[in-house]
């Protein structure tokens, strides 16, 4: 019998303290001691190996034609390598490099949103856009694809009768937009079938100018149109191979919102996302609910930029006069285009 076993038996016999309780304390002490040991190892690695770590990472970033980092933007932690606690405010340079690589900022210009007449009337009358929580897409596995593809498991942890994944999804709000293309391209891509109410809805066209950091193009892994991006997989694999630790980086909760299955690549989607808890901007919005689904509303003109509706095209099965009446009643002065000729 070792000393720890003697101790737990002794306390149980002498004081009536349950053996399980004493063993729990012993296990906690062992965990604390192990963590302190890992902390000391991390300190040594930061002194001796940090330059080599930066060289490894920058080699991969250079291969992928990305900006580089310096020693102040990555470090060894007791159980991983990352940027989760560097500086005040926390330095997220590496996170932003990865984010920009996968999801380039969308340029200013014309974007389209397919919807029905009820939504059109609400949008134009209220002069607001509805950004819906990503929790609406939970059963379509949109949010989780990025994390499953990169073996990131932390989002599955249970929290308050839910999961961390669900909590994060409820705090991410977006509107789907697509590139404004010619009617023939919309028809070929199935936009009217899937989003334009089988031709009974409309295509609302916006002129968007914004510097918002989360106005981004969606990335479709395994797309037939573009080469795959393997930056993150390369970083994670090489760091694990060389140092035996996982790469953990700050502020990745929104990555899953822009990482969509290639089966939807014809949508050429761009998303305007607002995160409730962001290091980059405030959240001055009231949260509303449609059933159980949270949403927020964004003014056409606001500190977030200009998202101005300029034209609307009725579908082949939509009454153009009804669309014109909605536009006239709103006082917005949008151009009502001729009906599209097919779906």
pLDDT at 1 exceeding the cut of 50: no
| CA-based R_g, the chain, Å | 26
What SS3 class is residue 189? coil
**Tokens 């089966």 map to which residue?**
263
Residue 162 bridge partners (DSSP): 159
pLDDT-derived band at 157 (thresholds 50, 70, 90) equals low
Residue 286 has pLDDT above 50, yes or no: yes
- Residue 38: count other Cβ atoms within 10 Å of its Cβ: 14
Q: Residue 30 — pLDDT band, cuts 50, 70, 90?
A: confident
Residues facing 309 on adjacent strands: 206
pTM of the model: 0.88
The C-alpha atoms of residue 338 and residue 136 are separated, in whole angstroms, by: 33
- 246-258: pLDDT as tens digits: 999 888 889 999 9
Q: Which of 164, 161, 139 is nearest to 252 (CA)?
A: 164
What pLDDT shows up at residue 5? 52
Highest mean pLDDT (candidates 10-14, 25-29, 87-91, 280-284): 280-284
Q: Compute the half-sphere exposure of residue 42: CA atoms within 13 Å on the CB side of its CA.
A: 16
Q: Is the pLDDT of residue 16 over 70?
A: no
Residue 337 burial (C-beta neighbours within 10 Å; 0-12, 13-18, 19+) = middle
Return the pLDDT at 155: 65
Place of tokens 């694999």: 237
Report the pLDDT averaged over residues 155-179: 83
pLDDT, tens digit (0-9, with 9 covering 90-100), for 50-80? 999 999 999 999 999 999 999 999 999 999 9
21 pLDDT above the threshold of 80: no
Instruction: Give the rounded percent of residues in the chain with a pLDDT score beyond 90.
Output: 71
**Does residue 9 carry a pLDDT above 60?**
no
Mean pLDDT estimate for the chain: 91
Enter the tokens of residue 249: 């980086």
Q: Which residue has the higher pLDDT, 89 or 152?
A: 152
Class of residue 65 by CB neighbours under 10 A (exposed 0-12, middle 13-18, buried 19+)? exposed
pLDDT digits (tens, 9 = 90+) for 329-338: 999 999 999 9
For the cut 80, the answer to whether the pLDDT of residue 98 exceeds it is yes
What local confidence, expressed as pLDDT, does residue 331 receive?
97
User: Distances in Å between the alpha carbon of 247 and those of 113, 144, 321?
Assistant: 37, 18, 57
Question: Over 70: is that where the pLDDT of 161 sits?
Answer: no
pLDDT of residue 13: 58
Q: Taking the CB of residue 200, how many other CB atoms lie within 10 A of it?
A: 16
As a whole number, mean pLDDT of residues 190-212 equals: 95
> Would you say residue 11 has pLDDT above 80?
no
Given CA atoms 319, 320, 325, 330 in this order, what sign does their dihedral have?
Answer: positive
Model confidence at 18: pLDDT above 80: no
Per-residue pLDDT at 211 exceeds 70: yes
The residue to which tokens 């963590």 are assigned: 35
Residues 204-234 as b/e (b if ≥16 CB within 10 A, e otherwise) read: bbbebebebbbbbbbbbbebeeeeebebbeb
């Amino acid at each position: 019998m070792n000393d720890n076993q003697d101790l737990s038996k002794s306390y149980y016999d002498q004081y009536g303290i349950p053996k399980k309780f004493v063993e729990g304390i012993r296990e906690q002490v062992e965990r604390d001691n192990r963590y302190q040991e890992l902390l000391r190892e991390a300190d040594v690695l930061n002194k001796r190996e940090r330059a080599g770590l930066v060289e490894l990472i920058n080699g991969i970033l250079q291969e992928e034609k990305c900006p580089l980092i310096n020693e102040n933007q990555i470090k060894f932690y007791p159980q991983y390598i990352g940027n989760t606690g560097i500086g005040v405010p926390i330095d997220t340079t590496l996170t932003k490099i990865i984010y920009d690589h996968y999801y380039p900022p969308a340029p200013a210009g014309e974007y389209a949103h397919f919807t029905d007449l009820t939504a059109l009337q609400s949008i134009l009358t209220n002069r607001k856009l509805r950004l819906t929580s990503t929790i609406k897409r939970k059963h379509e596995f949109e949010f989780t694809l990025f994390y499953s593809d990169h073996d990131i498991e932390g989002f599955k942890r249970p929290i308050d009768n839910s999961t961390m994944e669900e909590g994060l999804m409820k705090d991410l709000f977006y509107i789907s937009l697509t590139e404004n293309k010619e009617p023939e391209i919309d028809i070929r891509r199935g936009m009217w079938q899937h989003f334009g109410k089988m031709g009974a809805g409309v295509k609302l066209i916006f002129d968007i100018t914004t510097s918002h950091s989360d106005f981004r193009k969606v990335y479709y892994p395994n797309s037939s149109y573009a080469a795959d991006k393997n930056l993150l997989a390369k970083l994670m694999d090489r760091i694990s191979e060389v140092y035996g630790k996982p790469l953990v980086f700050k502020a990745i909760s929104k990555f899953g919102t822009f990482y969509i299955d290639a089966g939807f690549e014809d949508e050429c989607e761009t998303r305007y996302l607002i995160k409730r808890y962001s290091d980059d901007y405030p959240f001055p919005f009231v949260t509303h609910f449609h059933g159980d689904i949270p949403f927020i509303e964004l003014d056409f003109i606001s500190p977030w930029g200009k998202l101005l509706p300029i034209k609307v095209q009725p579908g082949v099965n939509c009454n153009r006069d009804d669309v014109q009446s909605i536009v006239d009643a709103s006082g917005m002065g949008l151009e009502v285009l001729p009906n599209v000729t097919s779906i």
